[in-house]
Structure 1
Amino acid sequence: MTRGSSGGQPAVLVQPAVLVLEDGRAFRGRAYGAVGETFGEAVFSTGMTGYQETLTDPSYHRQVVVMTAPHVGNTGVNDEDPESARIWVSGYVVRDPARKPSNWRSRRSLDEELVAQGVVGISGVDTRALTRHLRERGAMRVGIFSGNAIADEGTLLARVRQAPQMTGADLSAEVATKEAYVVPAIGTKRFTVAAVDLGIKGMTPHRMAERGIEVHVLPATATLEEVYAVQPDGVFFSNGPGDPSTADHPVALMRGVLERSTPLFGICFGNQILGRALGFGTYKLKYGHRGINQPVQDRT
């Protein structure tokens, strides 16, 4: 994947851009963020707010996110809301970017942040039509090209189809912490949790800490011995990117935790790991659900 391959220069002048899906459909617009080219899996997010959390969520590694909300960037970018130390999306697709951010916590515009981190995006796209296309055809590979990266659509389509697919991608180790660290309990310590980082969001251990939990965040490659070295009252498996069918080490680790009957819990990718650890298989949803509100139904 190449991000900002033309040097990541800001789109000072309005430069053309084109988005090409692997099934051949193309959408033309304007460069947004860094100018260059990028590839990934096209997915959409239905969140009307919280774009900063989406951008910095490691679960979006190697994905090009299409925002269904028409106006993006209204509140700018602050230094309090990131879920990790960097933007993880491969590319960003919006309809109407804010011309000027307006929020008391804003420190810079979203466009400036995308340029600074070399994230290639496109604006002026009919995101409603694009989202409907993905809902009908399913998530697929996509490329965004702007500036000197633009060529004839046949050439661009061939390059998109050469990009790696998400199926079979083992990505958790690419986004997880390399070294263990501790998020101390806020106030009186009540419990200790070992959190296996498969692409954890920063707010997750913080919310645990607010409830009196000391969280030991461990790399995705952690061993069973390293998990129990922290003497956990519970073990947590985080969210993360990639195909759970490839996550053999986390599955084996969770089976070891199950054998010891330690309380465990997980979210997103971690919950899929639990299914595999219990002997079930996984399959890729047509386009998944990516938004702020997740519908939950009490089946009991």
Structure 2
Amino acid sequence: MKYKQRKKALILLADGTIFYGKSIGKEGSAFGEVCFNTGTTGYQEIFTDPSYYGQLMVTTNAHIGNYGTKEADVESDSVKIAGLICKNFSFEYSRPGADMSLEDFFEKHNTLAISDVDTRALVSYIRDNGAMNAVISTEVDKIDELKAQLAEVPSMVGLELSSKVSTKEPYYFGDENATYKIAALDLGIKKNILRNLAARDAYIKVFPYNSKFEDLEAFNPDGYFLSNGPGDPEPLSDAIALAKEIISRDKPLFGICLGHQVIALANGISTYKMHHGHRGINHPVMNLVTGKGEITSQNHGFAINREETEAHNDIEITHVHLNDDTVAGIKMKNKNCFSVQYHPEAGPGPNDAVYLFDQFIENIQK
């Protein structure tokens, strides 16, 4: 590879802390909440996951880009992270099945990325001080201007982002002659969720984030699904009202991540912003129903209130996160409804939890 002259770049955190690195190619600035993912693989799926919309992603794996990108591995139609921060960026790749380099992929999607950053120090800082807004920039001589712009970026608390990533019009996925019909609310849905449902003999109609119950009901579905997505769940008043309506009619309902939080809010359980969230592909979860442990893929910065969940007469906690005892799954005792705070479809990650899709189909069959 020919040597390229690369511009100096920086990360400026909301509290004024600065880390330095080098630009990958694209110049300029990108703003968002800085967070980190500990996965050792699956960077393309992470970058295209709608749940990461508006976030500057720090990857803790030392090498990013070494196996290029492949069209089949995307989780949505575009890169959703606000920008990438990494240690070593591979301009060359060695994967026979790859379509293009990560550099070209970022250029195609107009994504700002910086490397040669001390990511260990940066991640340690986030772990100690919490996730916060930040800017990555090649304009290293404009610190005061960047600080002023950064001060204008809204906090993730109270921020509704599903409208930024949800489909504008309903669409279908799977075989129209499948046994089951599922109405899915797109709060920022991943393609691998749709693949998993379709693989279980389901035909899915995907609806915009603010759809009403009547819209979904007109499809005459056998079950309802609330997807993952970005931002604070509390502003999603339409989705919360929809969940309440589905629950009141005792229709089969399954929620993942943001969908899980929406189901909790529909039951009067509050949510809160976590200190730095869970993002990675090796998070340990205990299934309290089976007594078995699961290694899971996770990506969330909000969680549901455990004390309120335990005190709720109609809710049973089914899964807990073993690192911090946060609620990782619930089910309603008197309704056909359950949800989890992690990604059973993985993409990337292990397949320990794919049984949850089977459980949803079994609930529909009942």
TM-score after normalising by structure 1? 0.92
Task: Supply the distance in 1 between the matched residues of 2:36 and 2:165 (Cα, whole angstroms).
Answer: 21
Structure 2 residue 274 is the aligned partner of structure 1 residue 285: yes
Any idea what SS the aligned residue of 1:285 has? strand
Q: Residue in 2 aligned with 1:123?
A: 115
Match of 1:260 among 235, 249, 255: 249
For the Cα contact (< 8 Å) 1:42–1:66, is it kept in 2?
yes
1:99 positional shift: 3.5
Structure 2 residue 157 is the aligned partner of structure 1 residue 164: no
Which amino acid in structure 1 is aligned with residue 256 of structure 2? I
For the Cα contact (< 8 Å) 1:22–1:142, is it kept in 2?
yes
Q: Residue in 1 aligned with 2:141?
A: 151
Task: Supply the distance in 1 between the matched residues of 2:4 and 2:78 (Cα, whole angstroms).
Answer: 23
Any idea what SS the aligned residue of 1:245 has? coil
Q: Residue in 2 aligned with 1:7?
A: none
Q: Residue in 2 aligned with 1:48?
A: 40
Task: Supply the distance in 2 between the matched residues of 1:112 and 1:205 (Cα, whole angstroms).
Answer: 27
Q: Residue in 1 aligned with 2:100?
A: 108
Which amino acid in structure 1 is aligned with residue 56 of structure 2? V
Alignment of 1:47-196 (within 5 A): 47-146=39-138, 149-185=139-175, 189-196=178-185
Question: Bigger CA drift: 55-64 or 99-108?
Answer: 99-108
1:280 positional shift: 0.6
1:152 positional shift: 4.1
Task: Supply the distance in 1 between the matched residues of 2:89 and 2:29 (Cα, whole angstroms).
Answer: 19
5+ long unaligned stretches in structure 2: 290-366
1:164 positional shift: 1.7
5+ long unaligned stretches in structure 1: 1-10
Any idea what SS the aligned residue of 1:29 has? strand
For the Cα contact (< 8 Å) 1:244–1:269, is it kept in 2?
yes
Alignment of 1:174-253 (within 5 A): 174-185=164-175, 189-253=178-242
Task: Supply the distance in 1 between the matched residues of 2:174 and 2:105 (Cα, whole angstroms).
Answer: 30
Task: Supply the distance in 2 between the matched residues of 1:278 and 1:285 (Cα, whole angstroms).
Answer: 20
Task: Supply the distance in 2 between the matched residues of 1:55 and 1:298 (Cα, whole angstroms).
Answer: 29
Task: Supply the distance in 1 between the matched residues of 2:57 and 2:174 (Cα, whole angstroms).
Answer: 33
Give the count of matched residue pairs: 287
Which amino acid in structure 1 is aligned with residue 165 of structure 2? V
Structure 1 vs Structure 2: percent identity of aligned residues? Answer: 39
Task: Supply the distance in 2 between the matched residues of 1:35 and 1:209 (Cα, whole angstroms).
Answer: 41
1:294 positional shift: 3.5
Q: Residue in 2 aligned with 1:5?
A: none
Which amino acid in structure 1 is aligned with residue 41 of structure 2? T
1:233 positional shift: 1.1
For the Cα contact (< 8 Å) 2:91–2:103, is it kept in 1?
no
Task: Supply the distance in 1 between the matched residues of 2:108 and 2:141 (Cα, whole angstroms).
Answer: 25
Comparing both chains, which one has the higher relative contact order based on Cα–Cα distances under 8 Å and sequence gaps of 6 or more?
1
For the Cα contact (< 8 Å) 1:33–1:113, is it kept in 2?
no
For the Cα contact (< 8 Å) 2:6–2:25, is it kept in 1?
no
Task: Supply the distance in 2 between the matched residues of 1:233 and 1:212 (Cα, whole angstroms).
Answer: 12
TM-score after normalising by structure 2? 0.76
1:33 positional shift: 4.2
CA deviations on 1:123-169 (whole Å, 9 max, x unpaired) are: 000111101100010000000111xx332434423322221211111
For the Cα contact (< 8 Å) 1:33–1:114, is it kept in 2?
no
Any idea what SS the aligned residue of 2:106 has? helix
Which amino acid in structure 2 is aligned with residue 126 of structure 1? D
CA deviations on 1:250-273 (whole Å, 9 max, x unpaired) are: 000100000110010010100000
For the Cα contact (< 8 Å) 1:22–1:161, is it kept in 2?
yes
Change in CA separation of 1:37 and 1:166 when aligned onto 2, cut-off 3 Å:
same
For the Cα contact (< 8 Å) 2:91–2:102, is it kept in 1?
no
Structure with the bigger percentage of strand: 2
Which amino acid in structure 2 is aligned with residue 220 of structure 1? Y
Which amino acid in structure 1 is aligned with residue 229 of structure 2? G
Structure 2 residue 284 is the aligned partner of structure 1 residue 295: yes
Any idea what SS the aligned residue of 2:125 has? helix
1:34 positional shift: 1.8
Q: Residue in 1 aligned with 2:301?
A: none
CA deviations on 1:92-111 (whole Å, 9 max, x unpaired) are: 00100113111011121111
